[in-house]
C-alpha cells in the first residue's frame, strides 16, 4: 500500500515515463503497468535465464564516465533553442506536430531518457557481441550509450532525417566514439543494405516510425538478419493503440520464445528450449 505515493512522484515520472506528453491512453496504460508489473529484482521468476537477466543485467551499473560524457551532450542540446526543419518519415512525436522544431524540444520529448539509455547500454554489453543495429538515431544519445558500453562492437544506426543525422554525427565526434556507422535514409532503403552485407546483430533497437504496419514490417526484415541468441528491443510499445497492437502481434509470433515488457520498451527473445511467457517487469 505504501509503494504508490513513492512511485507516483510525477516530478520524476514526467521525464522518465512521459517524454512525449501525458496523453490519456499512455497514462492509463502506465497506471495499469504499475498495478500488474512484478519482479523488480528478479524474485519469483522461475526461468534461470530471465532471473539472471533481471537481477544482474537490468540492475548493472555502467561506467560513470560514460554517463557524464553523454549526459553533458544531452544537457547542451537540451538548452539549444535553435529551430531546425525535421523530415519525419515515421509517426513522429505525440507532443510535437509540425516539422519546425527546437533542438531543445526534440531532446526533451523524443530522445530516450537516461534511465532507459542505461538499460540499452547494459543489454548492448550482454548481447551486442556481433554488432548492434538501431532504427531511429535522432540525436544519437541511445546510440552513444550502446557504443560506449560495447567499444569492441560496431553500432549501425539509421536516421531518416538529414538534419538530425548531422547533429547526431557531431555528438558522436564530441563523445569520441569511433565504432558507430551512421546511415542516413529510410529504413526501407538502409535495412536491406545491412542484410546484403551480412550484418548479424546480437541486439536490435527499433525506435522509429511508431505505427503498427511499419513496425511489423521492419521486425520481419530484422528476423532475416538475426540468430536465435539475438534480442530485439522495441521502444514506445504502449504509446498508442496501434503500437500496442503491433506489440501484441509480435509477442504471439511462433519464432518468439518470450518477451519482457518494461513499459516504455518491449524486449523480444528467440532462444530455443524456453517456454513462451510474457513477463511484465517493473523497471
For the chain, list the domains and their CATH numbers. 64-280 (3.40.50.150)
Residues 197-255: tens digit of each pLDDT: 999 999 999 998 889 999 999 999 999 999 999 999 999 999 999 999 999 999 999 99
Identify whether the C-beta of residue 164 lies closer than 8 Å to the C-beta of residue 137.
yes
Percent of the chain whose pLDDT exceeds 70:
87
What pLDDT sits at residue 94? 44
Sorted by sequence, the CB contacts under 8 Å of residue 79 that are 6+ apart come out as 104
**Range with the lowest mean pLDDT among 4-18, 116-130, 138-152, 182-196?**
4-18
Please, what is the average pLDDT of the chain? Answer: 88
d(CA 139, CA 170) in angstroms, rounded, equals 9
Mind giving me the DSSP string for 122-162?
HHHHHH-SSEEEEE--TTSHHHHHHHHH-TTSEEEEEES-H
Q: Which of 95-109, 156-170, 201-215 has the least mean pLDDT?
A: 95-109
User: What one-character-per-residue DSSP string does 54-115 give?
Assistant: IIIITTPPPPHHHHHHHHHHHHHHHT---EEE----SS--SS--SSEEEHHHHHHHTSPPHH
Residue 188, C-beta contacts closer than 8 angstroms, at least 6 positions apart: none
Mean pLDDT calculated for residue range 143-161: 97
**Mean pLDDT, residues 31-45:** 77
The torsion region of residue 61 among left (phi > 0), alpha (psi -120 to 50) and beta comes to beta
Looking at the chain, the number of H-run helices and the number of E-run strands are 12, 10
* Alpha-carbon distances of 233 from 21, 44, 55, 78, rounded to whole Å: 22, 23, 18, 25
- Give the pLDDT confidence score for residue 167 in this predicted structure: 98
C-alpha cell at 174: 564530441
- Give one word for 235, left, alpha or beta, with left for phi > 0 and alpha for psi -120 to 50: beta
Given a cut of 80, whether residue 17 has pLDDT beyond it is no
Contact present, 217 and 90 (Cβ < 8 Å)? no
How would residue 8 be classed by pLDDT, with cut points 50, 70 and 90?
A: very low
Under the banding of pLDDT at 50, 70 and 90, the label for residue 34 is confident
**140-178 CB burial, b ≥16 within 10 A, e <16:** bbbbbbbbbbbeebbbbbbbbbebbbebbbebbeebebe
pLDDT over 60 (residue 168): yes
Reported as a pLDDT band with limits 50, 70 and 90, residue 7 is: very low
Strand 100-102, strand 83-85: pairing: antiparallel
What's the pLDDT tens digit per position in 39-93? 766 667 888 999 999 989 998 899 999 999 999 999 999 999 999 999 876 554 4
CB 260 within 8 A of CB 39: no
The percent of residues in the chain predicted with pLDDT above 90, rounded, is 73
Helical (H) or strand (E) element with 26:
helix 24-36
pLDDT digits (tens, 9 = 90+) for 172-187: 999 999 999 999 999 9
Give the C-alpha separation, 219 to 230, whole Å. Answer: 13
Amino acid at each position: 500500500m505504501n509503494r504508490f505515493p513513492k512511485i507516483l512522484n510525477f516530478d520524476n515520472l514526467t521525464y522518465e515515463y512521459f517524454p512525449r506528453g501525458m496523453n490519456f491512453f499512455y497514462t492509463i496504460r502506465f497506471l495499469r503497468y504499475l498495478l500488474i508489473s512484478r519482479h523488480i529484482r528478479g524474485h519469483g521468476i522461475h526461468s534461470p535465464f530471465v532471473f539472471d537477466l533481471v537481477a544482474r543485467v537490468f540492475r548493472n551499473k555502467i561506467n560513470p564516465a560514460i554517463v557524464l560524457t553523454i549526459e553533458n551532450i544531452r544537457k547542451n542540446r537540451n538548452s539549444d533553442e535553435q529551430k531546425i526543419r525535421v523530415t519525419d518519415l515515421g509517426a513522429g512525436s505525440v507532443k510535437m506536430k509540425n516539422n519546425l522544431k527546437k533542438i531543445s524540444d526534440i531532446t526533451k520529448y523524443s530522445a530516450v531518457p537516461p534511465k532507459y539509455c542505461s538499460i540499452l547500454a547494459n543489454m548492448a554489453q550482454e548481447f551486442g557481441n556481433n554488432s548492434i543495429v538501431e532504427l531511429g538515431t535522432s540525436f544519437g544519445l541511445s546510440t552513444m550509450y550502446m557504443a560506449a558500453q560495447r567499444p569492441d562492437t560496431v553500432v549501425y544506426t539509421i536516421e531518416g532525417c538529414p538534419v538530425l543525422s548531422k547533429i547526431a554525427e557531431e555528438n558522436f565526434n564530441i563523445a569520441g566514439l569511433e565504432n558507430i556507422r551512421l546511415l542516413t535514409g529510410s529504413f526501407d532503403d538502409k535495412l536491406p543494405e545491412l542484410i546484403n552485407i551480412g550484418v548479424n546483430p546480437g541486439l536490435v533497437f527499433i525506435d522509429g516510425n511508431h505505427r503498427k504496419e511499419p513496425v511489423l514490417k521492419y521486425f520481419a526484415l530484422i528476423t532475416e538478419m538475426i540468430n536465435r541468441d539475438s534480442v530485439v528491443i522495441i521502444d514506445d510499445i504502449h504509446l498508442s493503440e496501434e503500437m500496442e497492437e503491433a506489440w501484441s502481434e509480435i509477442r504471439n509470433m511462433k519464432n518468439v520464445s518470450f518477451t519482457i515488457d518494461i513499459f516504455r520498451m518491449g524486449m523480444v527473445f528467440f532462444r530455443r528450449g524456453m517456454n513462451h511467457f510474457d513477463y511484465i517487469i517493473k523497471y
